[in-house]
Structure 1
């Protein structure tokens, strides 16, 4: 990409001298006589560096560069002046309107080096701007992805809850009593038939050792599968103890299935 520089001065001979000096560095050079003409050029051009004289009729260099900052904020702006208005220039530098202040007559090598530094600074500004835009785009993409993941999680939770409700409904219509217990004896599942069999009490969250004392005291009853008789509230049932195992080794819990002897299943 070509490096474009705008030279602004009210004296044609100064513009010509600057043009001859800087063209050897390969810049694309624009020239404007006075601030008003320069502002017109900025409507169709975006120079990387702007060098303006300070003392110009109708509009000072600081006044021009202050407007140029609004029109072309990425340009690096320099003042070139034959006299020192320290307060005006200092205020402009503090406001960010001016990058550096150069004096007339100028040293050719110093001016060329300063312009080269200004273009390097301009490149850094553009790179930072691109990085900020990329970061903003990445953040927006992450935000959209997070929103999708949250929506998916809510949908999965909804499906899981519906599946649990359906599973509970299925358990409640089974004519046999089913109780799920952890290895500590906590009741983590119980259907309606189980609560009816035990007199209508609520079982979920209770402990099997309190509800049915001694039912799991016999290690053989847990270790050896099979059906055995069991009496609950004068109701003769057959008890089947089924292991609830995870994918890895070890026992996660037990499922107790009570079938009344006279049940028609």
Structure 2
């Protein structure tokens, strides 16, 4: 006969099966474990214990050694074979060494306990057994988890390289598509600017290609002077659009050479760079171009328009466009009534270096036009105090009105010296003229 009993109302921490053919032993074990939160199941024979194990999940089996039909050794061997995860303890009241050794070998028991037992020692054994079982189960769980993760990692590694190649190909295709779209937008934008330039020429009655020739020459000068491709492109676009501010002019004003303008017509004409800047400013991509258009009619000596800016305060790109514009305008009769051939227009631009034009820009222009350097032909440049910059080198002695030596040839001008010269000029009430070596007239093609 067998009996099953549960001790404790709360959820048990572990389940213990006690198997013994003596009811008093089972009762003693129930009393012992009543103080613990264990779930206790009892069976009065090995067969009854097997029946319990077939229906219940048991953590520990405590079995008597001497039982009828199936002894403890045979029962624990059956438990080991069918429920290897269940810990097995042997309870024996006989000092039978051979039987105990057989139980240990066949049933692979965790511990054996002799009757009568020490309750504290038995509870300690149970707790140790449960802790060992918990650690063993956790170890098995981690081993299974590790195997699963290793399998997943192997699968990932097997496909990762191909995934990377596929993703890289997708990104590359997307980048190429974006780049192609960007290039198309840039191309369409530049085409639109060229169309607009042609419309400006049609409105003004200029010779076809007038703006394109100015733009091409300005870009060549810019590149020769070391500007970046982006800066040279801005100069090119400014060349195409530099006369957009004239679109509102009447026909009579558009067809008149600049040298013949007077009164209101001249005042209105001199505003066209400002109008051009205002028309281009709303476009973010043309902000730099708008600034070039505004300043392209300024003169190096400060006598230009619309702002009267002088020297290196004029943006370099605008100084470049000024040379390209006037070279073309001289040939078309847009500056003076007489049309000039390219050679005469070139000579006139060179003659105006240091006055109307930046000498450095004229040098680059002359190199492009003739294939020769202008530096050997131009030994020095005459400048007033306001045109001087630190670092310039005198090509002649500087004398006062009374003939006194102020500065000698080859003197390198400093910021302090320029202030002293300006003060001297103010006190003397006269304008000084200094001759500067052309090769040291300013920092090489910079806008500093």
For 2:104, the equivalent position in structure 1 comes to: 93
Which structure dedicates a bigger proportion of its chain to helix?
2
Match of 2:47 among 36, 42, 45: 36
How many positions carry a matched residue from both structures?
A: 159
- Alpha-carbon RMSD: 2.4
Q: Secondary structure at the match of 1:43?
A: helix
Q: Does 1:121 align with 2:140?
A: no
Query: Which of 27, 33, 36 lines up with 1:25 in the alignment?
Result: 36
Q: How far does residue 90 in structure 1 lie from its aligned partner after superposition? A: 2.1
Counterpart in 2 of 1:145? 156
* TM-score, scaled to structure 2: 0.33
Corresponding residue for residue 369 of structure 2: none
* Distance change (3 Å), C-alpha of 1:150 and 1:64: farther
CA contact (8 A) 2:73 2:107 kept: no
Structure 2 partner of 1:213: none
Which runs of structure 1 show a deviation greater than 4 angstroms over 4 or more consecutive aligned residues?
A: 150-156
- Report the counterpart of residue 4 of structure 1 in structure 2: 15
* Distance change in 2, residues 1:95/1:60 (3 Å): closer
The Cα shift of 1:148 comes to: 1.5
DSSP-derived class of the 1:10 partner: coil
- Residue 125 of structure 1 and its aligned partner are, at CA, apart by 1.4
Displacement of 1:151 in angstroms is 5.2
Instruction: Give 1 or 2 for the bigger CA radius of gyration.
Output: 2
1:60 and 2:71 are equivalent in the alignment? yes
Q: What TM-score, normalized by structure 1, do the two folds share?
A: 0.55
Q: Which runs of 5+ in 1 are unaligned?
A: 157-265
State whether structure 2 residue 104 is matched by structure 1 residue 108.
no
Find the aligned partners of 1:137 and 1:96 in 2 and give their Cα distance.
32
Contact 1:77–1:98 (8 Å) recurs in 2: yes
User: 2 CA distance for matches of 1:98 and 1:16?
Assistant: 23
Question: d(CA) in 2 for partners of 1:96 and 1:40?
Answer: 18
* Cα shift readout 1:142-189 (whole Å, capped 9, x = no counterpart): 121122135558989xxxxxxxxxxxxxxxxxxxxxxxxxxxxxxxxx
CA distance in 1, matches of 2:135, 2:129: 10
Q: Distance in 1 between matches of 2:99 and 2:165?
A: 61
Distance 2:107 2:51 in 1: 22
For residues 150 and 61 of structure 1, do their structure 2 counterparts lie closer, same or farther at Cα, with a shift above 3 Å needed?
Answer: farther
Listed as ranges, the gaps of 5+ residues in structure 2 are 1-11, 168-448
Aligned-pair distance for 1:126?
1.2
Asked if the contact 2:20/2:63 (under 8 Å) is kept, the reply is yes
Matches within 5 A, 1:204-219: none
Given the superposition, is the C-alpha separation of residues 144 and 91 from structure 1 closer, same or farther in structure 2, using an over 3 Å criterion? Answer: farther
Q: Relative to total residues, which structure has the larger strand share, 1 or 2?
A: 1
Secondary structure in 1 matching 2:32: helix
Are the equivalent residues in 1 in contact too, given 2:79–2:107 (CA < 8 A)? Answer: no
Q: 1:238 matched to which residue of 2? A: none
